[in-house]
Structure 1
Amino acid sequence: MNTPISLAELGWRPLFQQALTLDQLDSGVIARVLGVDRDRLLLRGEQSQWHEPLEKRWHDVAIDERPTVGDWVWLQPDIPGTLTLLPRQTLLQRVASGTEPKPQLLAANIDTLLIVSSCNADFNPARLERYLALAMEAGAMPVFVLTKADLSREVDHYREAAQTLHASTPVVVLNALDRSAVDQLKPWLAPGQTVAILGSSGVGKTTLTNTLLGEGRFSTAGIREQDAKGRHTTTARQMVHLPDGGWIVDTPGMRELRLGDASDGIDRVFDDIVELTRHCRFADCQHQGDQGCALAAALEQGTLDPDRLQRFLKLKRESQHAQQTVWERRKRYKAFGKMARSVQKAKNEKKR
């Protein structure tokens, strides 16, 4: 695709330009990352789209410092080693599965996160709150999108349930196969805007993406309606251009979303509970039946949903654990670096 396109149409913001000097603007090219393979990037600049080799040095830096879908980069295409990652406006990331959790980047510079669930057994408040915290921690605007409205007799129930999770988050109920979905989501799909779609497998994310694109570009698979379990149909993140000028990132479905350090996002999702904690008698209240705990008082008065409180406390514990894990990992890296320098110093002294 070599049709000229302006940086503004690609989603460029004046904020990004502050990271570049006038000399860089004159001597290099600005491009956006549309896709990432292990050894190369799919880049889109004003004049063309191309694959750029990803040098080995990028595999040696911290994961959250590597290019991901939606990033902006500066480079001199004919000069190896010039690729520079520009500061991000937003960054969606989760904790990858494994015995030693590591960050997994989902997308960068996202304006809106469409959190997709369906009007059936897939609807899970705890999961949706996780997605909501992820969006708010990243700085992206969240929008709940409830699919399969045409197959449910309880659409109003699901709409109200989603709205109670966070009153200021828009809720859109639609049929992902219907072209009217484009009009329903149009406020967030303006030219130069970038949206990402996130949700579990089988909720209709890929179907919705195809509808927004106006073509069946991505393959889909059905779900078992008795338990709403789906299969992963999207296997890699990629950013594609929408007919009306916006950009969309379709992400792989996920059974579980493990949050990293998302304390700010969690506090914003549960802002009503956070406000209550300010009335606890002691600043270090653990909210586990402590004397003078405002949350315990609200539970007793029936003004606080106990299930919602437990979800809040669980996410806070998970976030605190993630903070400790990052600190411990950095401590180990620092210790290893110190040891390596000591060994090198000993070798140098031995050569003298």
Structure 2
Amino acid sequence: MPARVATVHRAKLTAQSVVGPLRPTLPPQVKTTDFAVGDWILIDPETRLLVRRLDRQALLQRRTEGARFQQLIAANVDTLFIVTSCNDDFNPARLERYLALANEAGTKPVIVLTKIDKTADPQPFADQAAALQPGLQVVRVNARSPEAAQVLAPWCGTGQTVALVGSSGVGKSTLLNTLTSKQGDEAQPTGSIREDDAKGRHTTTSRSLHPIKGGGWVIDTPGMRTLHMSDISSGLDMVFAEISELAPHCRFNDCTHDHEPGCAVQAAIAAETVDPARLERWRKLADENRSNTPVATGPRGNKIMKPAGKRR
């Protein structure tokens, strides 16, 4: 019987199936950390024993500081709603990290601007967001309004899975309740952004899968204030396409786009066709990605993975 992982805890999984919610029994030597919310699995209908996990179509994951392995965020996500609000939480550098994460996973990113009722003009926020990646879609919603579900409906139809990511307090839980029509005791607890520093309080403590009224699925995730770059080179190239597309025209193959003669990126900056602030953010993320991405080292047949280290 097919089922879909709804929550992952230290000692158990829960899943959604055609017969309703259930708790699969894990075989010996199988760990819950091998699964992500959104995974499709096969279960023996009589014993509830988990038989196997089906191949993933997409996997969102991140490497936390000091961790040896990637942390699984969500699986089989068609669209990643990157939620940010029209106030001091709006941070282009952080949004670029989320975009790289989505790109690397093969998931379509959409920027969702919330708190539009709290600002006189949300258009400047929308313009800044749209400029972060070619072809990026940006939508504006009041997360508490039923109209928000209509705005996001193109990505939430039958057979579609979306995931919500963003800082605490930007309206992810409110948006989840709107998409799933949850009210009262069933509703996800919501918080707010503190006015003094525009930071939110954690109300979602674990990842979870929920059915959307329109036939799709939504995965809620806890707020992430830090997102380290690792194993994400292709995703960065897509975010900073204006830089990655110029790089092959530089005189040197290993050009850092800083001081080298014949640098096509520096020429574009001089011509004011590339934003120097974008180059600075690209350099920071590229260096971080290089430092955090393990490389295989050692003799053939006995290689181990070690951090690459910073570029000299």
TM value normalised by structure 1: 0.80
Match of 1:74 in 2: 42
Alpha-carbon distance change, 289 to 335 in structure 1, aligned in 2, over 3 angstroms: closer
Give the secondary structure class of the aligned counterpart of 1:197: strand
Distance 2:216 2:180 in 1: 10
Q: Give 2:272's match in structure 1, choosing from 302, 307, 322.
A: 302
Would you say the 8 A contact 2:60–2:75 is kept in 1?
yes
- Choose the corresponding residue for 2:291, options 321, 325, 329: 321
Are 2:133 and 2:241, in contact at CA under 8 Å, matched by a contact in 1? no
1:42 aligns with 2:14: yes
Q: Which moved more, 1:40-49 or 1:108-117?
A: 40-49
Matches within 5 A, 1:45-194: 45-59=17-31, 66-78=34-46, 83-97=51-65, 99-194=66-161
Shift of 1:309: 0.5
Report how far residue 233 of structure 1 moved: 0.6
Aligned counterparts of 1:290 and 1:58: Cα–Cα separation in 2: 51
Aligned equivalents of 1:335 and 1:184: distance in 2?
A: 48
Counterpart in the other structure of 1:228: 198
Q: CA RMSD in A?
A: 2.4
Aligned twin of 1:205: 172
Q: Contact 2:24–2:43 at 8 Å: present in 1 too?
A: no
Q: Which residue of structure 2 lines up, in the alignment, with residue 245 of structure 1?
A: 215
Q: Which runs of 4+ in 1 moved over 3 A?
A: 77-82, 326-329, 333-336
Superimposed CA distance per residue, residues 161-201 of structure 1 (whole angstroms, 9 cap, x where no aligned partner): 11111231111111111111011001001011100000011
- Larger Rg: 1 or 2? 1
SS at match of 1:327: strand
SS across alignment from 1:303 = coil
Alignment identity in percent? Answer: 46
> Where do 5+ consecutive residues of structure 1 fail to align?
1-28, 337-352
- Per the alignment, residue 11 of structure 1 pairs with none
Structure 1 residue 100, shift from structure 2 partner: 3.8
The alpha-carbon deviation at position 221 of structure 1 amounts to 1.4
Q: Deviations over 1:10-47 (max 9, x none)?
A: xxxxxxxxxxxxxxxxxxx2221111112221122333
Distance in 1 of aligned mates of 2:77 and 2:276 = 33
Q: How big is each residue's C-alpha offset from its partner over 1:126-183, in whole Å with a ceiling of 9 and x where there is no partner?
A: 0001101111110111110000000001311101111111231111111111111011
1:269 aligns with 2:236: no
Distance in 2 (CA, whole Å) between partners of 1:81 and 1:184 is 40
- Cα distance per residue 1:189-227 (max 9 Å; x no partner): 101110000001111110111111222310011221232
Question: Offset at 1:52?
Answer: 1.2
- Counterparts of 2:44 and 2:179, CA distance in 1: 34
Q: C-alpha displacement at 1:80, in angstroms? A: 8.6
Q: Which amino acid aligns with 2:57?
A: Q
Distance 2:161 2:67 in 1: 32
Q: Unaligned regions of 5+ residues in structure 2, if any?
A: 306-312
Alignment check: 8 A CA contact 2:100 2:235 kept: yes
Q: Is the 8 A contact 1:39 1:53 kept in 2?
A: no
Instruction: Tell me which moved more, 297-306 or 205-214.
Output: 297-306
